[in-house]
Chain A
Amino acid sequence: MKAAVVVFPGSNCDRDCKVAVERSTGAPVEMVWHQETTLPAGVDLIVLPGGFSYGDYLRCGAIAALSPIMPAVKDAADRGVAVLGICNGFQMLCEAGMLPGALLRNAGLKYVCKPVELDVTNAQTRFTAAYGSKRRVRMTQGNGDGNYFADAETLDRIEGEGQVVFRYVDNPNGSARDIAGIVSARGNVLGMMPHPDRAFEPELGSADGADLFRSVMASA
């Protein structure tokens, strides 16, 4: 069992993701610099962390989606390796075409940092199996561009296919259909705006994020 966290210039949750995975699952985590072109052998989970990669210049996640490491990330995803994009990482996955839709400026036009309640709308995925019958989890989110958008046809499709994994109970940013996180059609790529990497111990306000890391590492 092994995980990797990709570090882009401007990533600022890379250490948080490493610590969250290590403390939640005990799995070792390697840091991978964005200019690498290969991933460590035998990686079971690749995390694209939050932050402001490349200063969020152009569009959030747009430059990171074109960085040297990304072809290796895509190859791994195609082979079925789990990929988790959190916040800026979710934006990268959408920019890279690995997940449908896009993240727009928040409806309130401001950065919003607050704890959010999430409904687990699909507990059958590799990322959510450990939630079992638990259908309501709490995490914190902090972003300026977390407003999930896709056309109605895409939204209908991902809802129909069970790809919507988390929904906001009280939508903080205007996301379409209260969507907070989605998986790819194959189910091995998860993008989400709330931070499980800031909710893995009770003193952080919630430990609900730990189950997500446990789920995905157990699925490997």
Chain B
Amino acid sequence: MTTAIAEKPIAELAAEYGLKPDEYAVILDRLGREPNLVELGVFSVMWSEHCSYKSSRAHLRKLPTSGPKVIQGPGENAGVVDIGDGQACVFKMESHNHPSFIEPYQGAATGVGGIMRDVFTMGARPIALLNALRFGDPSHPKTKRLLSGVVSGIGGYGNCVGVPTVGGETNFHRGYDGNILVNAMCVGLADADKIFYSAAPSAGLPVVYFGSKTGRDGIHGATMASAEFDEGSEEKRPTVQVGDPFAEKLLIEATLELMASGAVAAIQDMGAAGLTSSSVEMAGKGGVGIELDLDAVPQREEGMSAYEMMLSESQERMLAILKPGREADGQRIFEKWGLDAATIGKTTDTGRIVLRHKGEVVCDLPLAPLSDDAPLYHRPYVTPDGHPRLDPGKVPAPKDWGQALITLMSCPDVASKRWIWEQYDRHVMADTVEDSSTGCDAGIVRVHGTKKALAVTSDCTPRYVQTDAFEGGKQAVAEAWRNLTAAGADPIAVTDNLNFGNPERPEIMGQIVGAIEGMAEACRALDFPVVSGNVSLYNETNGQAIPPTPTIGAVGLIPDYDQRMGFHGLKAGDALVLIGDTAGELGSSLYLRELFGREDGEPPRVDLVKERRNGDFVRGLIRAGKLTACHDLSDGGLACAAAEVALASNVGVTLNATSDQHAHPYLFGEDQGRYLVGTRDAEGLLAAAKAAGVHAIVCGQAGGEAVASKDLFSVPLNDLRAANEGWLPGYMS
């Protein structure tokens, strides 16, 4: 490979590495000469979409990123928020879409590994994982294999490292046939005054490499992740990294021990673009220079070139800048954990990155242009025509109401994902109090040794974003906020994982801009800042883009985990109260898609003022111990929410809707800002709602062994459970 590359003219290679002619011209101008191969490699990965956010950066600035609880917003490895008592929560979500499509097991496994490194690099012990997965249509020939591989990869990595996977979501749609989405989120816990950053503080400090050896895997992974797919995509398998969770576990322990020893001045994991991005970012952010001796890099294979070492994305590697005279501390800790380690260079005051290999200087670049002159595109965009609102009166009613409920509860998006989450260790660390199995709108883990707990969720409804990017972006944020609220948490902050197609197409760029602006509006209205994130573009195959999918990960704090809330505690005799306004919005609803094959109509709009008012009201009820169950209303509306509460609580429910009403918009509409709650004191609740200016009605009661609505339908719980639990194992068998 190196020989073939070396024979090509550099300008031609630049194009192959994804650099546009004008980008290459900037490089020539700043260097005053042609870059050599290594230098070209450094520029091409640093300026890739994956590393530079060149298409999205201008719009990401619209997101609110600060707030009283924000310790560190976007720009570091992960976001950091204050959770009181001198403690901080560190979290981020990141995609591993392209590699997971090419090689699902390793792609997903290394996605989990990468996001954990982002979190412990900041000084936090990872305490919870989530994943948001989108696959193609279940009937697509690749879907089953991809699903199986991705789930095994996530479990294989997270289970071994020993961090519980407590939540997530899985959707299926033909729009993901050619590009699946694997978005992994990690949440960590740190002392607020012991957060570690990547900026090198001064010149003359040792640069220490530790972790696994560098091999030839994942070379140019970041570039691959910044391009569309075509028929030849599977030939890109060599660009996928291979993970070793055992090495990651050792790396976590060694890193946290090294930090505790006081030896670390700055630290950065080697993720996308490996040694290149870690060294460039550490020196660049610190305003210093860096010199590396590549002969000292621990290598897994013989005869690796400088180019290969700098571009390798071998996993489980860290780069640390140590305080003066502390190398022995490092050595002792690395030996204890059996990790390879070497001092491979030092920081300088030159503002340049200089690499030496076999006695020669193989790269000598000024650092400033790598970041300051990174391309920034204001790409043209068009806002697609919105869909008109559907008049609920004109959407047909189901022919068989009971069957309609069963269809929705067993459709791939709503059906139980037990087959998936039973492959994830949800209980290691012995602090998980709610997870995917328990019936709660968020995963909840205790803050070890305290009464506090963190609630975590990930959300996006791509079909809404598809028909209205702005409203869809808004809704994703609002739903995350709502889920945390329904679990009894005070929502704190957001991480976003923006998955879209090719931004060079104006209609895709329009989706990106719309979704970000919608997210920004919701984040502002809900005081829910974005503290970290990741952008994954070019999720296209042969010109077919994925449905726009801005996944929102979010974290909230529960002051006392005994005050957490789920929807598994409903008891016979409890009243069911519907909180929030219902107009019966069926545009872009699950009902429309699953029963009538239609994906049109304006999605339900989020009224952010009501969202906040309703949520604050519900949270107050939870804290006051007034509720027996609480579930947000989302896919499938009231009917599906009631069915989910009934299944989780193992008690029947009867809703009040009757056949002489126009009931299907009421039962299946997806109006936002709503909660279904169980209570023993409906009168008191309604009075409190009235006083708070919140719309609330008694919509049914718990009891019996069926999910029913007056004379409309009655589906035995057992049938409903069989339908809900049966789809995925049946599909995978």
A residues near B (Cβ < 8 Å) are 9-10, 12-13, 15-16, 19-20, 50-52, 54-57, 110-115, 140, 142, 144, 195, 197-198, 200, 203-205
- Residues in chain A near residue B429, CB distance under 8 A: 15-16
Known contacts: A10-B160, A12-B161, A204-B433. The answer to whether A198 contacts B427 by CB under 8 A is yes
Please indicate which of the listed interface residues B160, B247, B250 has the most CB atoms of chain A within 10 Å of its own CB: B160
Other 18 A-B pairs with CB < 8 A, given A114-B437, A142-B159, A205-B438: A9-B250, A12-B160, A12-B249, A13-B428, A13-B430, A16-B429, A20-B430, A51-B162, A52-B162, A52-B245, A110-B152, A111-B425, A113-B422, A113-B423, A115-B437, A142-B428, A144-B159, A195-B427
- In the A-B complex, the 7 residue pairs with the smallest Cβ-Cβ separation, listed nearest first, are A12-B162, A55-B246, A16-B430, A142-B425, A52-B160, A198-B427, A203-B433
- Residues in chain A near residue B430, CB distance under 8 A: 13, 15-16, 19-20, 197-198, 200, 204
A204–B427 contact, CB under 8 A? yes
- Residues in chain A near residue B338, CB distance under 8 A: 9
* Closest residue of B by beta carbon distance from A114: B422
Between A and B, 16 residue pairs with Cβ closer than 8 Å are: A9-B249, A10-B249, A13-B162, A15-B429, A52-B249, A110-B423, A111-B156, A111-B159, A113-B421, A113-B423, A113-B426, A142-B427, A144-B159, A198-B427, A198-B430, A203-B446
* Closest residue of A by beta carbon distance from B428: A12
Number of B residues, CB within 8 Å of A: 32
- Residues in chain A near residue B23, CB distance under 8 A: none
Determine the distance from Cα of A114 to Cα of B420 in the docked complex, in whole angstroms.
Answer: 12
A113–B427 contact, CB under 8 A? yes
Determine the distance from Cα of A101 to Cα of B478 in the docked complex, in whole angstroms.
Answer: 53
Q: Tell me whether B244 is interfacial, beta carbon within 8 Å.
A: yes
Please indicate which of the listed interface residues B162, B337, B426, B433 has the most CB atoms of chain A within 10 Å of its own CB: B162
- Residues in chain B near residue A56, CB distance under 8 A: 160, 246
Q: Tell me whether B424 is interfacial, beta carbon within 8 Å.
A: yes
Q: Distance in Å from the Cβ of A55 to the closest Cβ of chain B?
A: 3
Determine the distance from Cα of A115 to Cα of B421 in the docked complex, in whole angstroms.
Answer: 13
Determine the distance from Cα of A10 to Cα of B244 in the docked complex, in whole angstroms.
Answer: 11
Q: Distance in Å from the Cβ of B569 to the closest Cβ of chain A?
A: 13
Determine the distance from Cα of A71 to Cα of B432 in the docked complex, in whole angstroms.
Answer: 35
A16–B433 contact, CB under 8 A? no
A9–B337 contact, CB under 8 A? yes
B425–A10 contact, CB under 8 A? no
* Closest residue of A by beta carbon distance from B433: A203
- Residues in chain A near residue B421, CB distance under 8 A: 113
Q: Which of B408-458 contact A (CB under 8 A)?
A: 421-430, 432-433, 437-438, 446
* Closest residue of A by beta carbon distance from B444: A203
B162–A55 contact, CB under 8 A? no
B244–A140 contact, CB under 8 A? no
B423–A52 contact, CB under 8 A? no
B160–A203 contact, CB under 8 A? no
- Residues in chain B near residue A57, CB distance under 8 A: 246
Determine the distance from Cα of A198 to Cα of B429 in the docked complex, in whole angstroms.
Answer: 8
Please indicate which of the listed interface residues B159, B337, B427 has the most CB atoms of chain A within 10 Å of its own CB: B427
Known contacts: A20-B430, A203-B433. The answer to whether A111 contacts B250 by CB under 8 A is no
